[in-house]
């Protein structure tokens, strides 16, 4: 690294682990609120494009394998533990200058653990955010899903930015 420092100095390992912890807590709190407040599959309108709708997802994204007979619970638990372990190793090996990747991994790890807790304790994932337009509904999701999606988008953005960077360009403070 040259003498330049990244714009933000908050990108240490502890920061990303704390971010994951905040995602896990926010996810657990909002899911508990949904279970305590909402009636299963009965929408509560927030505005013209958003409802709170309690739903139980026994599958994965978009209810993939939702009705597969129960084996998918254990499959997704093992998959989530393996992926989270891989991401933690990646996080521990990051250089301090790779703050976008650290942020992304913190989001994905927090979201993965949030949904993993549901799968282990309940056998399904609690979803409650229902976005819709003109009668078409996006599959219900939760804070953990949002964090995973944002984290993956940030990883893709970082990959794009790094691939567009010219050799010798030190404008971001990252090593090529």
Residues with catalytic roles: 127, 145
Between CA 45 and CA 17 the distance in angstroms is 35
Residue 162 Cα distances to 10, 41, 106, 165, 176, angstroms? 20, 43, 19, 5, 8
Q: Give the chain's largest Cα–Cα span.
A: 58
């Amino acid at each position: 690294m040259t003498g330049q420092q990244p714009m933000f100095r908050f990108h240490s390992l502890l920061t990303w682990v704390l971010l994951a912890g905040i995602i896990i807590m926010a996810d657990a709190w909002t899911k508990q609120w949904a279970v305590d407040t909402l009636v299963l599959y009965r929408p509560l309108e927030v505005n013209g494009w958003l409802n709170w709708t309690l739903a139980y997802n026994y599958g994965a994204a978009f209810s993939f394998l939702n009705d597969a007979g129960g084996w998918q619970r254990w499959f997704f638990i093992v998959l989530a533990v393996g992926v989270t372990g891989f991401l933690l190793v990646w996080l521990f090996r990051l250089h301090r200058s790779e703050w976008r990747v650290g942020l992304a991994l913190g989001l994905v790890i927090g979201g993965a653990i949030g949904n993993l807790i549901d799968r282990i304790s309940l056998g399904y994932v609690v979803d409650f955010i229902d976005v819709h337009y003109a009668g078409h509904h996006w599959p219900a999701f939760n804070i953990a899903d949002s964090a995973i999606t944002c984290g993956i988008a940030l990883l893709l953005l970082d990959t794009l930015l790094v691939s567009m960077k010219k050799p010798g360009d030190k404008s971001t403070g990252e090593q090529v």
